[in-house]
Amino acid sequence: MRVMTDNLAVVRGIVDRVLVSGDLRPLLDGLAEDVVFKVATPDGGPDEATGKAAVLDYFEPLGDLITFWQARYSWRGPRVLVLAEERFTIQPAGITVRSELALIFDLRDGVITRLSIVENASPASSGELQLG
């Protein structure tokens, strides 16, 4: 049971720091050098790469948008699931933008060895623009 709690604490500590600051360093510092990074998008198959640079390439273009995310956590053994949602309004048009994704972290000895991202394919709600 201690391992599960520690894995959750590691991921929560990393994600919470990234969400507050928008700084990706805590995430990059928590990754194994040879981390396996996979992204599954609604419009295409999974894309997989290895190494910290692949993770940086995904998150860096998002910039401060990640500071709008609200995160919920779940875990079992070496795997921690983070459900992230963002919602903001584009002015002056008043269009609400909503995006959801799941980040799946696999850890070994407190280090993230695999990070998978599943971008949501659910349809947009009325009056909202769904991204990702």
Question: Read out DSSP for 13-25?
Answer: HHHHHHHHH---H
Helix, strand or coil, per DSSP, at residue 90: strand
CA distance 37 to 58: 10
Per-residue pLDDT of the chain (132 residues; tens, 9 = 90+): 445 459 999 999 999 999 888 899 999 999 999 999 999 887 776 789 999 999 999 888 877 767 678 899 999 989 999 999 877 777 788 887 778 889 999 999 999 999 999 987 444 443 444 444
Query: Residue 69: its pLDDT value, please?
Result: 80
Query: Residue 121: its pLDDT value, please?
Result: 41
Q: 25-42 burial by CB neighbour count: b if 16+ within 10 A, else e?
A: eebbebbbeebbbbbbee
Query: Residue 125: its pLDDT value, please?
Result: 42
Q: Does domain 2-131 have CATH number 3.30.465.10?
A: no
Query: Residue 5: its pLDDT value, please?
Result: 53
The amino acid present at 59, given as its one-letter code, is F
- Backbone torsions φ then ψ of 120, nearest 5 degrees: -70, 140
pTM of the model: 0.80
The amino acid present at 65, given as its one-letter code, is L
Cα 109 to Cα 20, 93, 120, 130: the distances in Å are: 26, 48, 30, 37
Would you list the domain boundaries of the chain?
2-131
